[in-house]
Amino acid sequence: MSGITYDYMEQYIKGLIPEHSGMLKEMEDYAKENNVPIVQKEVAKFIELMVNNKRPCKILELGTAIGYSAILMSMSAGNNCKVTTIERDENMIEIAGRNINKYGFSDKINILKGDCLEVLEKINDEYDIIFMDAGKGHYNHFLPHCLRILKNDGMIIADNVLFRGMVASRELLQRRKITIVKRMKSYLEMISNDEKLMTSIIPMGDGIAVTTKKMG
């Protein structure tokens, strides 16, 4: 059990979601075989839904890994969307680059190399969707920059915000994860208490937070 929901609920929900085929299935198999964390099955479906409904022109992703979620979002968004994804791990950059080229997304997905916070500070483009999935202990540091470059009608989707249940339960908290949990709590408080923002926290996967700017 993930610590977020009951095991029987997770299994039932996952059982309702059709398996991917082709490139996404190949990447899922690679991630499983090589212990590379990618978005969970139900989170992937949620992201597909949100991106498909939003039909964004520009997406920014924090944390590329093997390129799975970048390709997933590009496929869901349609032909007119550009995905920019930030990654600092040279090995992941190489693998993601191969996947992006192999599956024909080199003209739609661009990898920026470097530390997310340092790269964010230099970005001036505006984005329709920002997907946070890197540096779990730094979401609160990423937020001001993400809000600066988020379009007024855009959304921030943050994964792993309940962090194996530790954010919500002291009983699950591991001593070596205290700093990450404290910082994630800070992030959730920031997006929940800011009167200029609307946020929904969803107990799905490892926890998802969706944040938008209030209009009007």
Digit-coded pLDDT (tens) for 86-117: 999 999 999 999 999 999 999 999 999 999 99
CATH code, 7-213: 3.40.50.150
- Percent of the chain at pLDDT > 70 equals 97
What residue spans define the domains of the chain? 7-213
Q: Looking at the DSSP assignment, which residues form a beta bridge with residue 159?
A: 208
Give the Å distances, CA to CA, from 162 to 7, 80, 139, 167, 182.
Answer: 16, 33, 12, 5, 11
- Counting residues of the chain whose pLDDT is more than 90, the rounded percentage is 77
pLDDT above 70 (res 78) = yes
Q: What is the pTM of this model?
A: 0.94
DSSP SS3 for 160: coil
> What's the pLDDT score for residue 146?
98
Point out the least confidently predicted range of 74-88, 110-124, 172-186, 197-211. Answer: 172-186
Q: Is a pLDDT exceeding 70 seen at residue 138?
A: yes
CA distances from 127 to 59, 97, 146, 157, 208 (A): 6, 22, 9, 12, 19
pLDDT at residue 171, as a whole number: 78
Q: What is the pLDDT of residue 3?
A: 57
Identify the helix (H) or strand (E) that includes residue 40. Answer: none
What pLDDT score does 1 carry?
45
Alpha-carbon dihedral sign for residues 19, 20, 25, 28:
negative
Examine the pLDDT at 173 and tell me if it is beyond 60.
Answer: yes
Average predicted confidence (pLDDT) for the chain? 93
Bridge partners of residue 150, in order along the sequence: 127
